[in-house]
Amino acid sequence: MADLSLSAPRGSATAAGGHLSGLNPSQKDAVLTLAGPLLVLAGAGTGKTRVITYRMAELIRTGTQPDRILSVTFTNKAAKEMQERMSSLLGGKRQRSRPVVSTFHSLCVKILRQEITALGYPGTFLIYDRGDQESAARKALRDIRVPDTSLRPGDLLAQISKWKTLGVGPEDARDFIEDDRGMLAAAGYRKYQASLRAAGAVDFDDLLMLTDLLFHEFPDVLGRQQQRFDHVQIDEYQDTNEMQFRIIRDLVLPHGNLCVVGDDDQSIYGWRGAEVKHILGFQQHFPGAKVVRLQDNYRCTRQILDLANSLVKHNRGRHEKTLVAHKDGVEVLVRPYADEQTEAEGVVREINYLTKQLNIPPGDIAILFRTNEQPRLFEQELRRLNIPYTLVGGQSFFDRREVRDMMAYLKAIAHPEDEVSLLRIINTPARGIGDTAVEKVLTRAVKSGQKFWAAVPDAVAAKEITVKTAKAMEEFHHLLARFRSQLQTPGQKISTLLRELVDVIDYESEIEKQYKEKHQQLARSGTIDECIEALEQYEERTHQPTLSEFLEQTTLEGREENFGNDDKQLDRPAAKLMTLHSAKGLEFPRVFLVGLEEGILPHKRSVDAEGDDPNAIEEERRLAYVGVTRAKDYLTLTRAETRTSYGKRKLTKVSRFLREMFDLDSEEEAALLGK
């Protein structure tokens, strides 16, 4: 999250306008516009997030009750940061309540917990993570007997997600079909959604879609939610999708007090259904809206900003913006390396020098990259030189196999109807329950509309599974039931229960089987300990801890890490390795933007799609623009002249973005880029 720390008011906070001394005139204008629709449309680093934070303080200062203000941010991290800044801006004065700062997803979870029963889901619904979704998709395809080759579970999920972000429910999907695959997908969608419903579960896109559905179909629900807030603010508005737009539009209908801030040049989630038309059409959607533009960039040096400007001006569908730098710095460096290995070595050698010779805190440094294949080599080098680092937005803690297993156990204990979790763990660690046997019981259960456990005796009677297997299944069923009732004992700590569970099922033996090397085994056991610790921490900081709530929080956070930021990861004093997507909204004194090659940045997918879809490259350019504008003082751009892909070493092509930034012709390019 960007640093919003400058000039928190002290003492003089009550002097006329003194509390706004950290703002320029346009920012003040925005902060003091408290009623009606307001759009702040401005480039990177111009203080948009700062405006939102100050405006929240201003609303409270002028008498709005804090909990009547809703601010929506893109990540949990941003939300937390805003809460903290808020307290310091209000000069430590105790308030009766706190403003609500949350992401779209957690806002919707709260609404659904109160209202979802109207749609026939339990109020205690479970939120599926990516792994659960994949299992559910696989199961759906199996149910409709689609072979993997016609439609893979991942493709089905992508299609379902597209439909859901547009608000297309399972029954309506048929109307949007273009080909045979679409037919299969629509059928898969219906099965998938039915199985989630049966499990009392929702996925991430449901959080938004079901909220929208509730607002649409139940006016009393909408009315209740509209009563909650008098003011709504949204950061990073350029990345809202259709569902988010509709939810917010409906929420603010009675009063129209909506302030959104964003930058069309930083719209980078088009692939996930975000639509820049929402920010560009704000004045049409909210007639009478006031628009404030900010020009002064307080983040980057003139040198960095010049590059960003000359890059982004190559995009067509954009609002022309001028950005004025407020400080001068050093030239941006461009470094070509022979291959990706030397690129990683070179960058990390420099970081080593900065941190060890110049005593620059590692936390001031970020390495930004486009694809998930890139960080591995950098990680290796950082480890080799003992430089503390955190990988943000890579494989998340919650995606590790052991954590997924533990979560599945906890879910199966908390939610007996959740068969997806059950299937994950029924034979992990191995307890003599083979896949075929599970398959047999499952098919029978699906056919007769029974629950999994209820179908076991019938499967034995029909000789589809052996008595021995059935016994193993029953034992496992009892084990889960035992832990479930133990969980309900007053005073039972969930963390203790998990520790006991790990022992009882002898998970260590599973680890030993999966990993041959001692150090791997140790690392994996460590992961289990971390899991238990996470539970302990949760229990410590929560007044009335419940397993369902813990699972919900970890699902939300775990998911966000994939494209957003985890607080713990960002707060550590360590160099940051992160994707361009997860760097949005953040800033660092020193940035290394690596892999400036055609096929990496811009991504191969977008280069391939260029002929059909020019917007694909424009979105890549915006990503590069986001990357460049994360740097406050120092920026280094690197590329590898050769790179191995699919086992073959190939010559790479200089990224067009590099050429555009420096306005290079081929001769200059040769000189600068060492070709």
Interacting stretch for ligand ATP, rule CB under 6 A, among 3-11, 131-139, 518-526, 562-570? 3-11
CB contact set of 568 (below 8 Å; sequence gap of 6+): none
Helix, coil or strand: residue 592: strand
Beta bridge partners of 324: 296
| 468 a catalytic residue | no
Q: Closest CB to ligand ATP among 86 and 423?
A: 86
Identity of residue 133: Q
Among 37, 47, 188, 362, binds ligand ATP (CB under 6 A): 47
Q: Is 45 in the site for ligand ATP (CB under 6 A)?
A: yes
Exposed, middle or buried: residue 484 (CB in 10 Å: 0-12, 13-18, 19+)? middle
Among 392, 394, 391, CA closest to 372: 394
Q: Is 49 in the site for ligand ATP (CB under 6 A)?
A: yes
Q: Closest CB to ligand ATP among 424 and 632?
A: 632
**22 binding partner (options Mg ion, ligand ATP, none; Cβ < 5 to 8 Å by kind):** ligand ATP
SS (H, E, C) 314-383: CCCCCCCCCCEEEECCCCCEEEEECCHHHHHHHHHHHHHHHHHCCCCCHHHEEEEECCCCCHHHHHHHHH
Q: What angle do CA 542, 543, 544 make, to 5 degrees?
A: 95
Q: How many residues does the chain have?
A: 675
| 527 a catalytic residue | no
Which one of the listed residues 28, 48, 55, 335 is annotated catalytic? 48
Q: Closest CB to ligand ATP among 49 and 342?
A: 49
Q: Which two tokens stand for residue 330?
A: 């050093």
Among 48, 191, 321, 524, binds ligand ATP (CB under 6 A): 48
- Residues 571-610: x where in contact with ligand ATP by CB under 6 A, - otherwise, as a string: --------------x-x-----------------------
Q: Closest CB to ligand ATP among 24 and 466?
A: 24
Query: Cβ distance 455 to 448 under 8 Å?
Result: yes
Q: Closest CB to Mg ion among 67 and 296?
A: 296
Least Å distance, CB 330 to ligand ATP, is: 19
| 174 a catalytic residue | no
Q: Give the phi and the psi of residue 601 in degrees, each rounded to 5.
A: -135, 100
Q: Is 46 in the site for ligand ATP (CB under 6 A)?
A: yes
Contacts 24+ apart (CB under 8 A), 421-424: 421/132, 422/452, 423/135, 423/139, 424/131, 424/135
Q: Which residue is nearest to Mg ion (CB)?
A: 49
Q: Is 49 in the site for Mg ion (CB under 5 A)?
A: yes
- What's the rounded Cα separation, in Å, for the pair 265 and 321? 9
- Find the helix or strand (DSSP H, E) in which 219 lies: helix 219-226
Q: Is 30 in the site for ligand ATP (CB under 6 A)?
A: no
Q: Which two tokens stand for residue 345?
A: 């070595």
**655 binding partner (options ligand ATP, Mg ion, none; Cβ < 5 to 8 Å by kind):** none
Q: Reply yes or no: is the peptide bond before residue 416 cis, omega within 30 of 0.
A: no
- Residues 257-296: x where in contact with Mg ion by CB under 5 A, - otherwise, as a string: ----------------------------------------
| 48 a catalytic residue | yes
Q: Which two tokens stand for residue 265?
A: 């040049």
Q: Closest CB to ligand ATP among 263 and 405?
A: 263
- What's the rounded Cα separation, in Å, for the pair 143 and 155? 16
Window 237 to 296, contacts with ligand ATP (CB under 6 A): 263, 266
Q: Which two tokens stand for residue 101?
A: 């700062």
Window 573 to 592, contacts with Mg ion (CB under 5 A): 585
Which one of the listed residues 236, 263, 510, 618 is annotated catalytic? 236
Query: Cβ distance 48 to 261 under 8 Å?
Result: yes
> CA-based diameter of the chain, in Å?
84
Which one of the listed residues 27, 28, 46, 49 is annotated catalytic? 49
Q: Is 23 in the site for ligand ATP (CB under 6 A)?
A: yes
Which one of the listed residues 235, 265, 620, 641 is annotated catalytic? 235
Least Å distance, CB 44 to ligand ATP, is: 4
**50 binding partner (options ligand ATP, Mg ion, none; Cβ < 5 to 8 Å by kind):** ligand ATP
Question: Regarding beta strands 69-73 and 258-262, do their DSSP bridges make them parallel or antiparallel, or are they unpaired?
Answer: unpaired
- Residues in contact with Mg ion by CB under 5 A are 48-49, 585
Catalytic machinery residues: 48-49, 235-236, 266, 630
- Residues in contact with ligand ATP by CB under 6 A are 2-4, 6, 22-24, 27, 44-50, 263, 266, 298-299, 585, 587
